[in-house]
Amino acid sequence: MRFWHKTYILTLLLFLICLNTGIMALAVYTYQKNVENTEASATAEQHYITRSFENDYNSMLEAGGMSNPSLLMESYGNHYKSKGIYLSFEKDGKNIYSGFNIEYSVGKNVIAQKKIDGVRYIFISSDICNGEYDIVYVKNISELDNEFETLMAVYALTALVVSLFLALCLFLVLKRLSVPLDKLRLTTEKIEKGDFSVRAEEKGKDEFALLARSFNEMLSKINEQMSFLEIDAEKKQMLVENMAHELRTPLTSIHGYGEYLEKAAATEEERILAAKYIVSEASRLKKISDILLDTAYVRENRFEYTEVSLGELVLDTVYRLSNKAAENGVTLNTDITESTVSGDKTLLSMLLYNLTENGIKACKQGGKVKISCADQQLTVEDDGKGMTPEQLTHITEPFYRTDRSRSRSEGGAGLGLALCKQIAEAHNASMRFESEPEKGTKITLVFTS
Amino acid sequence: MANILIAEDEMSINNLIKMNLALVGHSCAQAFDGNSALYMANSSRFDLIILDVMLPGISGFDLISHLNNTPVIFVTAKSGLEDRIKGLRLGADDYITKPFEILELVTRVDVVLRRSKAVSHSFEFDDIRIDFDCKKVFKNGQEIVLKPKEFDLLGALVKNRNIALSREKLLEIVWDYDYEGDTRTVDVHIQKLRKKLDLDKRLKTVYKTGYRLEV
């Protein structure tokens, strides 16, 4: 059963109980009051009749004896009968005159109501003439019952109409109110079926709107997280595929030349060539494994922070790479404004070495690489072949090569910049790449810590 | 034998393929990127092109559509099914995945060449001529009668000449995969071949490896 169904049924039930109980109580109270009023007026009337009878009886006694009091009684009886009041007179329990021709029994000095043949009467008895007689006053009060029944009928009809009206209104109102909840439910059902692009409607300012808003926010967060995880998984998959490729190429060579040495009828020269290939490909494997280990080293944050002079770092790197630069016909320039940063000297040196080496590789014969340092900042700038914006977004991924065909003529494993990125991150340094094809690349490292 | 173009950007692997194919008598030309491979394929005739999928310049998959009817064997580093299917769908005759074995390379090349009838049906060395079509061997013009298994063994040694073949491999090639024979069978047949064709100097026993026909 839906929530709004429950609310509807319970509210309606509660209301009907209250309404009908209220109406009933009112009806009963009104009836009670009417009975009391009737009784009071009947008592007053009986009192008046009694008084006037006693007066008449006494004046008759004084005027010359009472031959037959029953005549007086009869005249009173007849007189009041026309007003719907029946009088009876008794003496010592014996009926002298009775205007009421139905059997009844009633005690002395009482007020009682009796139903005789479905008609309600009020009986009031009292003694008169100093206890010589008893008078019984009887009045038909079935009017009271009729009134009550009519009243009840009117009340019941009203209650029925009001109840129906209420039931209808409540139904419409609750159904209308539950619409946003229903919409929210439909939204969740869609999500359950895998459609994460849907959003709940955020109309209004009530709890449902608030709920929808939080729900949408939650959905956005989940979507964000999911796409992040997807990208991450994709990257990892790429990494594994690339790594398999990187490892398979030298492995193929080593395996192939090994088998060649084992099986081929080869000349001494061919054997030496095969052996050389085995050695060089094995050292390529070693290089890959070294860089992977370096990457793991950086990831595990096992390094020592000291004050590192950036000027020294630049000079040191230039010194180590001067031979390679000369071989490639590349000029290394420096622009040093001394500054120190807190970091691991080995790692920072590795970082700058990698960046500079990349710069040298990107340059043609006669190219220039400029390494500069200033306040908390390192810059490596080359005038080499540059990169497209698309390439720039990938360069820090492990095993990525800007040359899509993965030519290894320049050497390297394609891991350098991935390592650089990790080192930079470990030092809270931001690494910014600016590049334009055929114009060159500029890498700026800013240390923020 | 056949004239083969090897298009592979890795110098070491390119040379490896060349050296192995040279052993069985093929002559090879080498290309190290897609553009030069295309240029060479169009400027001279090859019986077969061994094409790396990931070539700089023009990739192997792009290159194959520019080649006219020359048989192609793809070399792919990925053993992924997709690449292989794509290669075959583009019209490649076969593929080899890295790392490969010498025998696998030689056999696949041989199969493709035979399919395109670029392989000769007879082979001669010294004074011996082997006719593969009518399964006969001649020495000094005189037919030497060989038993069927002896001829098959000679055929396997010739096709993989200059490469050592293990006894197990020979059993597998000549006596079929499931043959649970003794490797001694191979030794016996080798002895007979040596005797009948006087091959003591050519058909060598390679230490701890097997036999090799050196031509």
Q: What is the distance between the alpha carbons of residues A364 and A375, in angstroms, rounded to a whole number?
A: 31
Specify the CATH class of A3-166 in words: alpha beta
CATH topology of domain B3-115: Rossmann fold (3.40.50)
- Asked whether the beta carbons of A72 and A57 are under 8 A apart, the reply is yes
pLDDT tens column, A162-186: 889 988 998 899 888 888 888 888 8
Cα dihedral A411, A413, A418, A419, rounded to 10, equals -90
Q: Domain limits of chain B?
A: 3-115, 122-213
Cβ of B54 within 8 Å of Cβ of A255? The answer is: no
Which of A264, A263, A257 has its CA nearest to residue B99?
A: A257
**Hey, is A133 helix, strand or coil?**
strand
- Asked whether the beta carbons of A303 and B38 are under 8 A apart, the reply is no
Token representation of residue A26: 């009112």
pLDDT tens column, A260-317: 999 888 889 989 999 999 998 898 888 788 877 877 777 776 677 888 899 999 999 9
pLDDT tens column, A98-148: 877 777 777 778 888 888 888 888 888 888 877 788 888 888 888 888 888
Of A4-18, A88-102, B152-166, least confident by mean pLDDT is A88-102
The pLDDT value recorded for residue B154 is 92
The pLDDT value recorded for residue B178 is 61
CATH topology of domain B122-213: Arc Repressor Mutant, subunit A (1.10.10)
The pLDDT value recorded for residue B181 is 67
Specify the pairing of strand B3-7 against strand B27-31: parallel
Of A34-38, A268-272, A300-304, B96-100, least confident by mean pLDDT is A300-304
Cβ of A260 within 8 Å of Cβ of B16? The answer is: yes
pLDDT tens column, B114-143: 887 766 678 888 889 998 888 889 988 888
The pLDDT value recorded for residue A271 is 92
Q: Domain limits of chain A?
A: 3-166, 204-300, 304-447
Distance from CA of B70 to the nearest CA of A (A): 24
- Chain B partners within 8 Å of A257 (Cβ): 12, 16
The pLDDT value recorded for residue A403 is 56
pLDDT tens column, B37-72: 999 998 888 999 999 888 888 888 888 888 878 899
Which of A87, A82, A53 has its CA nearest to residue A69?
A: A53
The CA distances from residue B135 to B121, B171, B200, in Å, are 10, 19, 22
For B149, counting Cβ atoms within 10 Å of its Cβ (0-12 exposed, 13-18 middle, 19+ buried), the class is: middle
Q: What is the mean pLDDT of residues A186-194?
A: 88
pLDDT at A401 over 70: no
pLDDT tens column, A74-91: 888 888 888 888 888 888
Q: What is the distance between the alpha carbons of residues B89 and B69, in angstroms, rounded to a whole number?
A: 14
Q: What is the distance between the alpha carbons of residues B37 and B74, in angstroms, rounded to a whole number?
A: 13
Cα dihedral A204, A207, A209, A215, rounded to 10, equals 170
Res. A402 pLDDT band, cuts 50 70 90: low
Res. A407 pLDDT band, cuts 50 70 90: very low
Q: Quick one: DSSP state of residue B169? A: H
pLDDT at B7 over 90: yes
- Chain B partners within 8 Å of A270 (Cβ): 19
Angle subtended at Cα B171 by Cα B169 and Cα B172, rounded to the nearest 5 degrees: 65
CATH topology of domain A304-447: Heat Shock Protein 90 (3.30.565)
The amino acid occupying position A330 is V
The CA distances from residue A209 to A212, A223, A248, B152, in Å, are 5, 21, 57, 85
Provide DSSP, A315-376. HHHHHHHHHHHHHTT-EEEEEE---EEEE-HHHHHHHHHHHHHHHHHH--TT-EEEEEEETT
Cβ of A273 within 8 Å of Cβ of B164? The answer is: no
Q: What is the mean pLDDT of residues B169-187?
A: 79
- Asked whether the beta carbons of B174 and B120 are under 8 A apart, the reply is no
Residue owning tokens 């390119």: B14
Backbone angles phi, psi at B134, to 5 degrees: -100, 10
Angle subtended at Cα A134 by Cα A89 and Cα A36, rounded to the nearest 5 degrees: 100
Q: What is the 3-state secondary structure (H, E, C) of A26-64?
A: HHHHHHHHHHHHHHHHHHHHHHHHHHHHHHHHHHHHHHH
- Chain A partners within 8 Å of B160 (Cβ): none
Minimal-distance CA residue of chain A relative to B11: A409
Backbone angles phi, psi at A322, to 5 degrees: -60, -40
What distance lies between CA B29 and its chain's CA centroid?
16
pLDDT tens column, A348-385: 888 898 889 888 888 888 889 999 998 889 999 998 88
- Select the residue from B9, B14, B16, B38 to test the A interface by mutation, using most A Cβ atoms within 10 A: B16
Backbone angles phi, psi at A396, to 5 degrees: -90, 5
Distance from CA of A209 to the nearest CA of B (A): 49
Specify the pairing of strand B128-131 against strand B122-125: antiparallel
Cβ of B99 within 8 Å of Cβ of A262? The answer is: no
pLDDT tens column, A206-240: 888 888 889 889 989 999 999 999 988 887 787 77
Within an 8 Å CB–CB cutoff, is residue A183 touching chain B?
no
Distance from CA of B182 to the nearest CA of A (A): 22
Average per-residue pLDDT for chain B: 86
Q: For the sheet with A111-116, list strands across it.
A: A94-98, A85-91, A133-140, A119-128, A111-116
For A11, counting Cβ atoms within 10 Å of its Cβ (0-12 exposed, 13-18 middle, 19+ buried), the class is: middle
**Count of CB atoms within 10 A of residue B151's CB?**
18
The pLDDT value recorded for residue B215 is 83
Q: What is the mean pLDDT of residues B26-30?
A: 93
pLDDT tens column, B71-84: 999 888 665 677 77
Token representation of residue A336: 């040093």
- Chain B partners within 8 Å of A280 (Cβ): 12
Cβ of B23 within 8 Å of Cβ of A265? The answer is: yes
- Select the residue from B11, B12, B160 to test the A interface by mutation, using most A Cβ atoms within 10 A: B12
The pLDDT value recorded for residue A379 is 92
Peptide bond into B99 cis (omega under 30): yes
Minimal-distance CA residue of chain B relative to A274: B16
Distance from CA of A198 to the nearest CA of B (A): 34
Res. B29 pLDDT band, cuts 50 70 90: very high
Q: What is the 3-state secondary structure (H, E, C) of A336-348?
A: ECCCEEEECHHHH
Q: What is the mean pLDDT of residues B99-110?
A: 88
Angle subtended at Cα B170 by Cα B204 and Cα B152, rounded to the nearest 5 degrees: 90
Minimal-distance CA residue of chain B relative to A257: B16
pLDDT tens column, A386-398: 888 877 877 777 6
Q: What is the mean pLDDT of residues A59-83?
A: 80
Specify the CATH class of A204-300 in words: mainly alpha
Q: What is the distance between the alpha carbons of residues A65 and B184, in angstroms, rounded to a whole number?
A: 172
